[in-house]
Homo-oligomer: A and B are copies of this chain.
């Protein structure tokens, strides 16, 4: 990326757009690539609480928006870059996992053809699921699925379909956005589905990880069995990991380790 040419706002070809992942929390999980982009930027665009994680400095314009129209936020960022600004769209975790990158490409596809010639990059980050997994061991050490439990943009029946198939395949399952004030009941239904499909005996042993505000000062980790899991254990800042039939616990002081062994027995056990 070229350093800022001083022609901001003039339609300078030096404009660019980086869609960056800030990682799960503190500065020790921000990649040097992302730090550099933030240092070179003229504009930061994103959801309020993610923009708040960027150090303000003179000349840096912060465009903090409420959670809402991600497509319009993406188009705004593309327009800024088109006009010569050096723009970083910030997401928590990784921008490509249930975050802003998909919205930027949706906006790009729907927008003017000129946007396709923009200097556009996606800068990966440590996703919430990888950070949460690391805090409790290696629960994603075997084949796994990542499912966004929000049904804002997809029908609930598709979510249930995917949960059933994921269980059938004995995948470990990472659940993003399990529960919010606007969607208080979905996660309860998901837990019922998981328990109903697994059966009582299996639910009494299968581990679930609740990782709230992972890698922040408010981090709270909890490992319970599927039987013990309650909807209230999750909120919109919680990443839930549902173990497979092979997932194992290692007791220790505090939260136990959870891991998925690398090997697996035959299908259909």
Contacts and interface: CB of A to CB of B under 8 A. Distances in A.
Contacts of A97: 130, 140-141
B131 A124 contact: yes
Q: How many copies does the complex hold?
A: 2
Contacts of A253: 117
A165 B169 contact: yes
A32 B30 contact: yes
Interface in A81-126: 94-99, 101-106, 108-109, 116-117, 121-126
A221 B101 CA distance: 19
Contacts of A138: 95-96, 101-102, 104-105, 122
Given A31-B30, A134-B96, A259-B102, A143 B162 contact: yes
Tier of interface size on chain A: 35 or more
Given A137-B122, A162-B143, A130 B94 contact: yes
Contact of A250 (B98, B105, B148, B171): B105
Contact of A171 (B108, B121, B162): B162
A257 interface: yes
A89 B263 CA distance: 20
A201 interface: no
A189 to B, nearest CB: 15
Nearest to A167: B165
A95 B24 CA distance: 16
A28 B23 contact: no
A72 interface: no
Interface of A: 21, 23-24, 27-33, 36, 70, 94-99, 101-106, 108-109, 116-117, 121-127, 130-131, 133-135, 137-148, 153-155, 157-158, 161-162, 165-166, 168-171, 248, 250-253, 257, 259-268
